[in-house]
Structure 1
Amino acid sequence: MLSNLMSWQITLPIALAAAVIGYLFGSIPFGLILTRAAGLGDVRSIGSGNIGATNVLRTGNRKLAAATLLLDALKASAAAWIVGYFLGEEAAIIAGFFAFIGHLFPVWIGFKGGKGVATYIGTLLGVAPIMVVLFAAIWLAVAVTTRYSSLSALVAMLVIPIALLILGNEKVAAVMAIMTLISYWKHKANISRLMGGTESKIGAKG
């Protein structure tokens, strides 16, 4: 397994091209664009200040939040699919990873982006689509049991790299593991609230 993990064949110029393309796709701040287009102002001025779908939902517009979730996922998938088509499978993995990074740290808005759950899912869809089914199943099971959206995502992101490794997809497993660690860091406030019992539950008001 270790030998397979280390056997990347991609050249540096192609890797750099994949990284740049992926980052540019991922850095599109759809949450901000959609809320402004809908006349709802700057989504960064409400709630957590995040540009992701969860904070867009705090505007009260569920359709806009759903659109943000979908577009934030598809921008990573699109980056992986397009780059993969022209530059190969390893380039697709790199593009997906950097789309995730672009979402978290978009250059256009001061490197202050989202927490990456939707873009994580989008990267999976682009490079290991069957894992999206597993992610969704885990998220749903934890959400139904605990009613914590953040915990559901955190558990799913923990399981995905392990599942990929078991299935022998070491390269994607390694990249998704790094993405999981980064997303955990971005969720540190949620983790703190979960540990303190103060995290908001799905459907809770106020």
Structure 2
Amino acid sequence: MLKVLIVVLSFLSGSIPFGYIIGKLKGVDVRKHGSGNIGATNVSRVLGKKIGLLVLILDALKGAISVLIVKAVGLPLHYQLMAALFAVLGHCFSPFLRFKGGKGVATGIGAFTVISPINALLAVGIFIFIFAVTRYVSLSSITAVATYVIAFKYLVSPCPDHFFFVAVAGFVIIIKHYANIIRLIKGEEKKYGSEKVS
């Protein structure tokens, strides 16, 4: 029952579509503009960087809070990782948006930073470096996620059960970038700041 409770609450917390909600409050359905995504990157394109930053913070917080609650009641790493994974899944497959959603990067950052701040700092550092060089948010995100997943096994826990949750979360986030990956391969991905919002 405890595992079921963690799964349900973390999934529901993660599924709150802040980008969509804030867009609607501004009179805009962000799904119909830019890339069509509800995440912070597209919100910043459509509604401005300040609103995008707000969505980034809120999406990260819902992931962090899911894990912090589990951690606060003294449950071990296994349960914290479960909460992190299902918060990410909630964001990516929100029942409030007919099981569609964002790509899970910000929510993953929030959730997995609580679990391993040092590992998260490494991943964020990689993101900043790749972004500074390429200006591709998608490539930077994918590289950062892969970095966290790989480093987790060596810096946090070699336990296969622990690694499973991190690997699945990373896999889902990367797969949600499928269209971006195809565009990157074809040389058609747009750099941040070069997009024209319709």
Work out which of the residue numbers 101, 104, 112 in structure 2 matches 1:116.
104
Distance in structure 1 (CA, Å) of the matches to 2:186 and 2:73: 48
Work out which of the residue numbers 107, 115, 120 in structure 2 matches 1:127.
115
Work out which of the residue numbers 9, 12, 17 in structure 1 matches 2:5.
17
1:25–1:79 contact (8 Å) kept in structure 2: yes
C-alpha displacement of 1:158: 0.9
Kindly indicate whether residue 41 of structure 2 is the aligned counterpart of residue 54 of structure 1.
yes
Distance in structure 1 (CA, Å) of the matches to 2:18 and 2:156: 34
Report what 1:43 is aligned to.
30
Work out which of the residue numbers 172, 175, 178 in structure 2 matches 1:182.
172
Distance in structure 2 (CA, Å) of the matches to 1:183 and 1:70: 18
Distance in structure 2 (CA, Å) of the matches to 1:205 and 1:65: 15
Which amino acid counterpart does residue 133 of structure 1 have in structure 2?
L
Tell me the TM-score normalized by structure 2: 0.91
Tell me the TM-score normalized by structure 1: 0.88
1:93–1:127 contact (8 Å) kept in structure 2: yes
Between the aligned residues of both structures, percent identity stands at: 39
| TM-superposition CA deviations, 1:47-69 (whole Å, max 9, x none) | 22211111111224211110001
1:161–1:174 contact (8 Å) kept in structure 2: no
Secondary structure of 2:171 counterpart:
helix
Aligned length: 193
Cα root mean square deviation, aligned? 1.5
| TM-superposition CA deviations, 1:67-101 (whole Å, max 9, x none) | 00111011010000012222502222111110000
C-alpha displacement of 1:173: 3.3
C-alpha displacement of 1:168: 4.5
Work out which of the residue numbers 76, 79, 88 in structure 1 matches 2:75.
88
Kindly indicate whether residue 192 of structure 2 is the aligned counterpart of residue 202 of structure 1.
yes
Distance in structure 1 (CA, Å) of the matches to 2:16 and 2:195: 30
Which amino acid counterpart does residue 138 of structure 1 have in structure 2?
I
Distance in structure 2 (CA, Å) of the matches to 1:128 and 1:33: 30
**Could you tell which deviates more after superposition, 131-140 or 86-95?**
86-95
C-alpha displacement of 1:33: 1.2
